[in-house]
Chains A and B, each alone.
With several copies, the nearest count.
Chain A
């Protein structure tokens, strides 16, 4: 949870994923959408931000030899980069989708760690044209290894995650998705950020943001 100054507008802290955790720095990757992110973009080096975190869970690194499939939609790719770095020895397959070329993030950095992402854009300006879940469906339909040898990790807009849930049911695929919900406290106190799961409402900030894909009730 991050805030940029003492102004009361915007009031609440905003949730961001850790993009990368370096030696003495943490990096976040963000999209400019509204009040806080517009203030952030005008910040200069050495300006001070207030952050509480890290909060909640992260993507679990699965034991065994299941090959990871990473699926990032738009700014939802942000939390997947660290994961990709950590599990690069497992040769993850990385699907990245976005509305348009400009919103396809950090492919250069991915290549530098030896990952060649599969890309799609809604408008066809980079990679295949169409939504990334279509590309994934195509891939799964013609997959070479048994499907249980894959584990998916995904983050992105709601429709993408919904579609992924359908795909995972159809192909009997296991995996994890990171969810977003409006947040106030970030520490599990206010019960703002719940999502519906097979075991009732769970807090994205505390039990999440990463949930087993089969647990979510859309």
Chain B
């Protein structure tokens, strides 16, 4: 049975990765999941300098989903390279580093630094966090700005470059196309949808940050549609994510057109989720007599 897939020049042993921000820096889940078994580990979003993130409360559960307003708290690129990367490098998996900046300059600087060390296989550019200040969102919602920032990063790195798209747009296929035109090797579809929750009694928002990003099974139908739209629009591979909780979900994303999938909120629901999904995928392939997982990618019948 062949489970391997390609993201541009990067080859994954199977299509299952972890979604940034839901798997820490990898070590946090190593008691539950053998990292050697994963297609790739995607770490929490990094910035040039450490960031404190938003005040608590930072999450709130909603029907079949959750809102988060972590606000990109992270230890910064240098600490990651020194303290976290050596641990991850022990494993036979691909290491994908998610990062962001507050300006094109910062995006470039961060990508440069990350490209200068050994052991990182790909960069995932987050241009789509709903927890940042208003104004920041243009990186992921204004096609012109998106083109600029992706092109700038593309110029300075030879690593596989993945652009993580925002679902909070009118036309995500257009954004995928822009990322492709700017030189991205792959797109991640989708980041969280902006949402909100209110305590009716106190009349206060449930999150200190007022708004947050919605993830989990609730958003799966939207994510799946967006993957399909992007699949029709671009030739670069798509990493599908958004509400995947079972192997069947993951396979639906492959069929809709993603070459790999990322497991996010499901890790919280079941700390073994990523492993269970790989196992379930294998079982599905046996039952359905599929020998190569690539036979599923983009094979929607309609």
A residues neighboring B (CB under 8 Å): 3, 8-13, 50, 52, 181-196, 200-201
B267's partner among A188, A189, A193 (CB-CB below 8 A) is A189
A11 to B218, CA, bound (A): 10
Residues in B224-268 with C-beta less than 8 Å from chain A: 245, 265, 267-268
Q: CB distance B23 to A189 under 8 Å? A: yes
A191 touches B66 (CB 8 A): no
Assess the B268–A13 pair: CB atoms within 8 A: yes
The prevalent SS among residues of A at the interface is loop
Contacts of A3 in B (CB 8 A): 269
Interface of B is mostly: loop
Q: Which residues of chain B are within 8 angstroms of A192 by Cβ–Cβ distance?
A: 56, 58-59, 68, 70
Docked complex Cα distance between A115 and B91 (Å): 52
B73 near A201 (CB under 8 angstroms)?
A: yes
Known contacts: A10-B61, A13-B268. The answer to whether A184 contacts B66 by CB under 8 A is yes
Cβ A12 vs Cβ B66 within 8 A = yes
Contact flags B111-154 to A (C-beta < 8 A → 1, else 0): 00000000000000000000000000000000000000000000
Q: Within 8 Å CB of B60, what residues of A?
A: 182
Q: 28 interchain pairs (CB within 8 A)?
A: A8-B269, A9-B63, A11-B61, A11-B64, A11-B65, A11-B265, A12-B61, A12-B66, A13-B268, A52-B271, A182-B57, A184-B66, A184-B265, A184-B268, A185-B22, A187-B29, A187-B31, A187-B32, A189-B23, A189-B28, A189-B29, A190-B68, A190-B70, A191-B44, A192-B58, A194-B53, A194-B58, A196-B55
Tell me, yes or no, whether B217 is within 8 Å of chain A by CB: yes
Decide: A185 near B56, CB < 8 A? Known: A8-B217, A190-B21, A191-B70: no
Residue of B nearest to A36 (CB): B61
CA–CA, A9 and B271, complex, Å:
17
- Could you tell me how many residues of chain B have their Cβ less than 8 Å away from some Cβ of chain A? 34
User: Is B24's beta carbon under 8 Å from chain A?
Assistant: yes
CB B102 to nearest CB in A, in angstroms, measures 19
B156: Cβ under 8 A from any A Cβ? no
State whether the Cβ of B300 lies closer than 8 Å to any Cβ in chain A: no
Q: Is the Cβ of B73 less than 8 Å from the Cβ of A190?
A: no
B20 to chain A, nearest CB (A): 11
Measured CB to CB, the nearest residue on chain A to B63 is A8
Instruction: Taking A3-B269, A9-B63, A201-B52 as given, write out 14 further A-B residue pairs in contact, using a Cβ cutoff of 8 Å, ordered by the A residue number.
Output: A11-B61, A12-B268, A182-B56, A182-B57, A182-B58, A182-B59, A184-B68, A185-B268, A185-B271, A190-B70, A192-B59, A193-B56, A194-B56, A194-B58
Decide if B216 is an interface residue (CB 8 Å cutoff): yes
